[in-house]
Structure 1
Amino acid sequence: MKPQYRLITCDLDETLLNTEKKVPAANVEAIAAARKEGVKFVCTTGRGFPSIQGTLQEIGTVDQPEEYTISFNGGVITENRDNRILHMEPMDFDLAKEIFRRGIAYDVCAHVYTPDTVWVYHINPGEIGFLQGRMEFREFTDTSLDFLEGQTIIKVLFENTDYSYLKSMEDMFHDIRNLVDISYSSNRYLEFNKKGVNKGAALLRLAELLEIPQSETIAIGDNFNDLSMIRTAGLGVGVANTHPDMNELCDVILSRTNDEGAVAEAIERFVLRS
């Protein structure tokens, strides 16, 4: 019998990956079983696709044709073979420059994402530890993004582990809310993409490309940058460690955390049950 759901988009940090930044064995096995049934499993992350090749290797989709990745919070969709870019939604340079200018007035670390480089301003020891094993980055000290003029910028974010502090920053951007999509992730990041760029929109675009109805999609996540795809998918799933304020916005909250193979639970319950 054909599975009811044929496309799974899944967040990485705090969802697919455990605290050691690896894919639990139960998840690897369940993903392999789903793929044997013709189900597409798509890593969907706020990070850039160059930084998740190790994860793709773990689940067996690295450099594979007709396997896909959504990255930069939906800013880029790639086919995994040769990381071929199928769709990209960059941010206007002047807008990125202005977001960065305003944000660094706060006590934050800033990331600026181009397709192949994560530029990091005012990094702190805690952030160095958090990024280790997740992504490579280049530090810079300029207080303007003029040095990146002419390059493609996809996303800007600000880091502080005080979530309430990040929330307090939103007022600074009230006059440009119509130009950006704002989200939160990992309980430490305030993220900015071009308006209309989010994981949910990318899910729809990829589903259309693959000729899979929206009703046959699952999205799995844990935080607010996953909310757009959780709301968009035919079935929106939160892991047990999902941010509490999101629980009632998910169709299902799993019993397992990211450290306990939550993604395997979702696949076993909703894809392989037949």
Structure 2
Amino acid sequence: MRTYKIIACDMDETLLSNDATICQRNIEAIARATAAGIKFVPCTGRGFRSVAGILKTLQLYDKRGQYVIAFNGSSITENKNSTSLYWDAIPFALANKLYQKSVTYGMCTHIYTHDHVYIRRITPDEKAFLKGRMDYIPTEERTLDFLKGDAVSKIIIMNTDDAILQKIHQEMRLWLADAEVSFSSNRYIEFMHKNVTKGVGLLKLAELLGVQPEETMAIGDNINDIEMLKAAGLAIGVRNLNPRIRLYCDVITNANNNEGAVAEAIDRFIFGKE
């Protein structure tokens, strides 16, 4: 059996159950993996600070030699002392342009900086979805001038109608020459700096740690996980995956995100249990 040294794992709908908690089966399997010297790396669209509760649950908070890939790959942080190892924010002028165009749609819009998430026009549905997942600061600003001097890593538009998100993508193509686009959680279109993906983040972390790409495993469920799955030595999709990513997966778990899919992957491919 091949030895895997890094497990890059998506958060929502992969590690987390639908109620935003982590099941005991996953907690125990991750503890066994990290005790065996494996790097268990949350690879998420969220910022590093917003996953502190998850790290505490997994006993990885402030741990040396454990890491988080955040903001869809634009940030790598060592958990110990929140040490930043890599950061690729959107140039401010581009971020402001993307945000101002996003505002014209009148929809719920997120702004991610290194330390905070600001949300304009949050809906009741979005409030319910984010409860227990992350904190945010409401804003009604129409430009990013209030954030001048701060680094913006990501702009998000939220709508649960995929057809609307696809239409926005088409209409914003003129603004996207220097931006990367992804979709997540069946509700978001996300704009990052050009060439920022979870896959780039995973390969960068592997390079920093002297790990070969084939010694990495990735676990995910949705479109923004595709590049991570393509980059990894072993690509695992959870049973509740978005059907569009199936062809990028080497394996689909029998369990879904509520049943310990991550634990199943760890038991099978780290410890050789069937």
Deviations, residues 147-180 of structure 1 (Å, cap 9, x unaligned): 1111111111110111111111111221233311
Deviations, residues 40-97 of structure 1 (Å, cap 9, x unaligned): 1001110011111111011111011111011111111001012111111110111111
Secondary structure of 1:236's counterpart equals strand
**Corresponding residue number in structure 2 for 1:89:** 88
**Corresponding residue number in structure 1 for 2:118:** 119
Deviations, residues 73-128 of structure 1 (Å, cap 9, x unaligned): 11110010121111111101111111111112224210011111101111111111
**Corresponding residue number in structure 2 for 1:138:** 137
Distance 1:64 1:3 in 2: 26
**Corresponding residue number in structure 2 for 1:34:** 33
Which aligned pairs between 1:119-198 and structure 2 lie closer than 5 A?
A: 119-198=118-197
Secondary structure of 1:65's counterpart equals coil
Secondary structure of 1:258's counterpart equals coil
For the Cα contact (< 8 Å) 1:107–1:160, is it kept in 2?
Answer: no
For the Cα contact (< 8 Å) 2:98–2:175, is it kept in 1?
Answer: no
**Corresponding residue number in structure 1 for 2:108:** 109
Secondary structure of 1:128's counterpart equals helix
TM-score of the pair, normalised by structure 2 = 0.97
Distance 2:129 2:76 in 1: 25
For the Cα contact (< 8 Å) 1:76–1:85, is it kept in 2?
Answer: yes
Deviations, residues 169-223 of structure 1 (Å, cap 9, x unaligned): 1112212333111001100010011011111001001001111110010010111
For the Cα contact (< 8 Å) 1:9–1:219, is it kept in 2?
Answer: yes
Letter in 2 for 1:178: A
**Corresponding residue number in structure 2 for 1:237:** 236
**Corresponding residue number in structure 1 for 2:261:** 262
**Corresponding residue number in structure 2 for 1:12:** 11
Deviations, residues 240-268 of structure 1 (Å, cap 9, x unaligned): 01101111221111111100100001111
Secondary structure of 2:201's counterpart equals helix
RMSD over aligned Cα atoms: 1.2
Distance 2:169 2:189 in 1: 9
Secondary structure of 2:20's counterpart equals coil
1:224 aligns with 2:223: yes
Percent of matched pairs sharing the same residue: 43
Query: Which has the higher mean CA deviation after the structures are superposed, 176-185 or 84-93?
Result: 176-185
Which aligned pairs between 1:203-218 and structure 2 lie closer than 5 A?
A: 203-218=202-217
Letter in 2 for 1:108: M
Distance 1:75 1:237 in 2: 22
For the Cα contact (< 8 Å) 1:3–1:37, is it kept in 2?
Answer: no
Distance 1:175 1:150 in 2: 26
**Corresponding residue number in structure 2 for 1:62:** 61
For the Cα contact (< 8 Å) 1:3–1:272, is it kept in 2?
Answer: no
Distance 2:223 2:94 in 1: 22
Distance 1:158 1:149 in 2: 21
Distance 2:142 2:258 in 1: 39
**Corresponding residue number in structure 2 for 1:48:** 47
Secondary structure of 1:120's counterpart equals strand
Secondary structure of 1:207's counterpart equals helix
Distance 2:2 2:58 in 1: 20
TM-score of the pair, normalised by structure 1 = 0.97
